[in-house]
Structure 1
Amino acid sequence: MNRLIVLTAALLVAMNTFAQKRIVSLNGAVTEIVVALGFEKNIVGVDVTSTYPASMQQVPKVGHNRNISAEPVLALNPDLILGTDNFLQPAVITQFKNVGVKTQIFKQDFSIEGTKQLITEVAAALQVPAKGTALIKQLEKEQAGLKIKQTNKKVLFIYARGAGTMLVAGTGTPTEKMITLAGAQNAASGFSDFKPLTPEALVTANPDIILMFDDGLKSMGGIDGLLKVQGVQQTTAGREKKVVVMDGALLTGFGPRVITAVKELAGKLNS
């Protein structure tokens, strides 16, 4: 009996060990998954793309995942660092591992299936595979109810931080993947990733709809400010003032809310 009590106590300690760990998440989608799996209180630091849920606004920020340096992350004394390979620099990842901090870097594929895989891998890293399975089942239930109407509308995503910083999204970007999932097509083609917006590119793309982050449009001074950008009024979207905005983390995160994002974008594109 005493041996059983000892073994049970040891098992409980082992089960609770992970619950006490300090987690730093360096990707918004990963952060959402960690929270959905029940580890919100373990998160001691996040990157600036981790804006959901709202409680993450109160968590220390360590920078943007595109230019994270090791020092602010390690200053939080984490037991576990989670991130994705599409943004973090390999040298920084090596620094984390060299000081002995457990670091899990996931491959993020911007698709619904990719989201399911990311959930599976994060759940495994947190030692709660059953919770990951339950979260995926919830996602699949939402996916089964998804009804998307295909359209020939051309959508151009513009990333803006004021008129001085404006980029358009090409092929292979999360925004292009989301536009396609919502039943429309990317107005920009012939290049991958992002490139600076030019009047010529706008006229050539001639989008039916311009898609932006809500804070991006705000940085332009709203629709009126956007219309002042050279070339915008020469497009169908500009003439008809057809501009759609969405929360950036929701639109491009491809986390547990991916189906919600597809439904919201599809609804706005067809309104």
Structure 2
Amino acid sequence: MPKTWASLWRWLLCGLLALAGLVNLAHAQGVQITDDRGVRVALPQAPQRIVSLLPSLTETVCELGQCHRLVGVDRYSNYPASVRRLPQLGGGLDPQIESVVALRPDVVLMSTSSRAALRLEALGLKVVALDTKSAADARRVLGTLGQLLAVPDADRVWRAIEAGVGAAAQSLPPRSRPLRVYYEVSTGGYAAGPSSFIGELMARMGVSNIVTPDLGPFPRINPEYVVRADPDLIMIGSHHAANLGARPGWPQMRAVRDQRVCIFNRDESDVLVRPGPRMAEAARLMARCIASKGAP
């Protein structure tokens, strides 16, 4: 064999050995992250069997190209369509503990508000609890899951989200007077405050939130509060909008009187209330609402 070919083969062999060494080192070091409880979670390697008990986390795992690692989800995880075929393990706040354990997951992803984390950990499972209220939280959670799943450049997903939100905002004409908007998130009068990811999207769209910042990201609002604020536009999900006109004082509000109410169907509501990879789509839905119902 010519000397040049022999040198080339030696070079390739050395490269392969070096790569194998790096892989072995990565496996030896494993994965270590700190979740939003401040709990340090260590795994011998990136998890291959994942249970996700929060729809936004399910969607993020899939957007990172790792849907195939999911072995079970909560009852509300319905996107993408492939996750609907997975075992449903109850709600995120009240999962079916025995069913989760039976799936032998390497890690369970869940909200910090769930009380099930300690029970699952007591049974020997690894839990990563994450909290997403703001856009900054959504970006941080995306990075945490990218690290956990050993997905390089997870931030590319965030760059795409930002580009989409920016495009939605630019699609709206400039307004001389910002619209005053009330967004009702769920039954019982829970609203999107300015510091929530929904409130931040509203601000990006150039509208004003009637909920004041001091009330927090998702406060429970008295119906009279909304009547006094008299918003120009109301955004609400169809499953929360029943008897909207029957609420005391609401028929006299300008938004209800002038039919400036955007009622989102269930699929649209899912997009809007989940702080995950579909936030650009949420911005487009919000922009469409403002464009169609918000004109004076």
Superposition TM-score, scaled by structure 1 size = 0.77
Could you tell me which of 103, 108, 114 is aligned with 1:88? 114
Structure 2, unaligned runs of 5 or more: 1-12, 28-43
For the Cα contact (< 8 Å) 1:45–1:60, is it kept in 2? yes
Q: 1:137 to 1:154 in 2, by over 3 A?
A: closer
Tell me, in whole angstroms, the C-alpha distance in 2 between the residues paired with 1:28 and 1:118: 13
Q: 1:137 to 1:203 in 2, by over 3 A?
A: closer
Q: Identify the range of structure 1 (69-78 vs 208-217) with the bigger mean alpha-carbon deviation.
A: 69-78
Tell me, in whole angstroms, the C-alpha distance in 1 between the residues paired with 2:70 and 2:58: 8
Tell me, in whole angstroms, the C-alpha distance in 1 between the residues paired with 2:211 and 2:252: 16
For the Cα contact (< 8 Å) 2:47–2:149, is it kept in 1? no
Matching of residue 24 in structure 1 with residue 51 in structure 2: yes
Give the aligned residue type for 1:103.
Answer: V
Give the aligned residue type for 1:75.
Answer: A
Q: Which residue of 1 aligns with 2:220?
A: 195
Give the aligned residue type for 2:227.
Answer: V
SS at match of 1:129: coil
Matching of residue 270 in structure 1 with residue 267 in structure 2: no
Q: Which residue of 2 aligns with 1:242?
A: 260
SS at match of 1:24: strand
Within a 5 Å distance, the mapping from 1:153-168 to structure 2 comes to: 153-159=179-185, 165-168=187-190
Structure 1, unaligned runs of 5 or more: none
Tell me, in whole angstroms, the C-alpha distance in 1 between the residues paired with 2:125 and 2:256: 50
SS at match of 2:271: helix
Which whole-Å deviations, capped at 9, do the CAs of 1:79-134 have from their partners, x for residues lacking one?
2111232x223xx22222232222222342421x433222111011111123x143
Tell me, in whole angstroms, the C-alpha distance in 1 between the residues paired with 2:260 and 2:69: 42
Matching of residue 179 in structure 1 with residue 190 in structure 2: no
Q: Which residue of 1 aligns with 2:230?
A: 206
Could you tell me which of 125, 147, 151 is aligned with 2:148? 125
Tell me, in whole angstroms, the C-alpha distance in 1 between the residues paired with 2:229 and 2:203: 16
Q: Which residue of 1 aligns with 2:88?
A: 61
Q: 1:141 to 1:239 in 2, by over 3 A?
A: closer
Tell me, in whole angstroms, the C-alpha distance in 1 between the residues paired with 2:101 and 2:70: 14
CA RMSD of aligned residues (A): 3.4
Residue 176 of structure 1 and its aligned partner are, at CA, apart by 2.7
